[in-house]
Amino acid sequence: MDGYIIVIGAANVDIGGRSFTTLKEKDSNPGKITYSLGGVGRNIAHNLRLLGVPVKLMTVFGDDYWTIKLRETCVANGIDTSLTIDVPGELTPAYTYIANPNGDMQLALSDTELFTRLTPEYLQANIGEINGACAVVFDTNIPIDSILWLAENCTAPLIADPVSVAKAEKLRDVLPKLYALKPNIIEAELLTGICIETDFRLKKAADALLSFGVKNVFISLGEDGIFAKNADSEYQLPCMTNKLVNTTGGGDAAIAAIVWAYFSELDIKDAALASQAAAAITVEYRDTINPALSPEAVRARMDAAGE
């Protein structure tokens, strides 16, 4: 497929802590703290570029050291930032998380106030670029009014990342407009009202999302893999790694791979396989994004899973 993908969402700095021992509440826990560039939208855009997909990023940049690093990294990786908003005097938003010794995130705080500037008026001013895209990917760090505007005005296929339970609620009224959705179990439970305790209920939740109008559903099962379903097919695929170093960026890599599969005109099974391959490559690395991610690396994992 020729063209480009628009990604609309957050760009921030990730401040991560991994405990050396079992976490104790209300106490100082020994561990390792790292800093890396992040933000769901930016991570998806970066992963898409590693997968060879042309990307235009619509986000908000502040005015500090981390802003310089974010912009430099985007430019170095070929991400088009001509549509970004620059806000002088503002600090770069931060996502702060604490992980257990296995690398699983236990608690996080997300500062996304700056992204309220991604307004419907801003989107309208860039309607030509938006509707000229092969697909538009957005995360729910953007305002709900902007999500509703996209649902009514975007003619390109819409792909959504719910980000979190607190923010997934923003998607409830736009589900009929979504080409693809990648919630985790608790986000799917929120959007469907179905408690996913068994494989039967998992399928019922996917059916519910399809009945709401979503065309392609990918429910992340964490260490248990992914469940993918559309009107024609359904697949439950396992996780492709047990080597967890940092799970924070796994979901962003997974949705980027789903978009890459769409851009490459692959079917839903291959999209699900690609999502698990990209997630595995990413969580085996110390940072949120693994520079070793590539179409060749993803296809190699997909081929190995099919053997």
Q: What whole-number distance in Å separates Cα of residue 260 and Cα of residue 248?
A: 20
Q: Is a pLDDT exceeding 80 seen at residue 306? A: no
Distances in Å between the alpha carbon of 140 and those of 114, 132, 148, 160?
A: 13, 22, 11, 8
CA-CA-CA-CA torsion for 181, 184, 189, 194, nearest 10 degrees? Answer: 90
Lowest mean pLDDT among 13-27, 77-91, 197-211, 214-228: 13-27
Q: What whole-number distance in Å separates Cα of residue 78 and Cα of residue 122?
A: 23
Distances in Å between the alpha carbon of 228 and those of 175, 237, 306?
A: 16, 8, 16
b or e along 77-102 (b: 16 or more beta carbons within 10 Å of the residue's beta carbon)?
bebbbebbeeeeebbbbbbbbbbbee
Q: Which H/E stretch holds residue 276?
A: helix 268-283
SS3 306: helix
pLDDT score recorded for residue 68: 95
Write out pLDDT tens, residues 55-109.
999 999 999 999 999 999 999 999 999 999 999 999 999 989 899 998 888 998 8
pLDDT score recorded for residue 22: 94
**Count of domains forming the chain:** 1
> Residue type at 248?
T
What number is the average pLDDT over the span 238-264?
A: 93
Q: How many Cα neighbours within 13 Å face the side chain of 200?
A: 0
- State the pTM of this model: 0.92
Q: Is 102 part of any domain?
A: no
What number is the average pLDDT over the span 120-142?
A: 98
pLDDT score recorded for residue 307: 60
Q: Whats the size of the chain, residue-wise?
A: 307
Q: Which H/E stretch holds residue 70?
A: helix 65-76
Q: Is a pLDDT exceeding 70 seen at residue 44? A: yes
Dihedral sign computed on CA atoms, order 212, 156, 256, 171: negative
Q: Is a pLDDT exceeding 90 seen at residue 183? A: yes
Looking at residue 111, the DSSP 8-state letter turns out to be: -
Q: Is a pLDDT exceeding 90 seen at residue 162? A: yes
Q: Is 33 part of any domain?
A: no
Q: Is 58 part of any domain?
A: yes
Q: Is a pLDDT exceeding 80 seen at residue 262? A: yes
What number is the average pLDDT over the span 17-26?
A: 92
Contact between residue 283 and residue 246 where contact means Cβ atoms under 8 Å apart: yes
Nearest partner of 234 among 222, 217, 246, 252, judged by Cα: 217
What does residue 184 show for φ and ψ, rounded to 5 degrees?
Answer: -90, -175
Q: Is 34 part of any domain?
A: no
Residue with tokens 């979190």: 164
Q: Is 62 part of any domain?
A: yes
User: Residue 287: which domain range?
Assistant: 5-11+40-86+118-306
Bridge partners of residue 56, in order along the sequence: 6, 80
The mean of the pLDDT values for the chain is 95
Strand ranges across the sheet with 158-161: 55-58, 5-8, 135-139, 158-161, 178-181, 216-220, 226-230, 234-237
pLDDT score recorded for residue 232: 96
Distances in Å between the alpha carbon of 21 and those of 16, 100, 221, 225, 283?
A: 15, 7, 25, 26, 20
Q: Is a pLDDT exceeding 70 seen at residue 150? A: yes
Q: Is 141 part of any domain?
A: yes
pLDDT score recorded for residue 244: 87
Q: Is 175 part of any domain?
A: yes
The domain that holds 196 is classified in CATH as 3.40.1190.20
Q: Is a pLDDT exceeding 90 seen at residue 153? A: yes
Q: Is 30 part of any domain?
A: no
Q: Is a pLDDT exceeding 70 seen at residue 7? A: yes
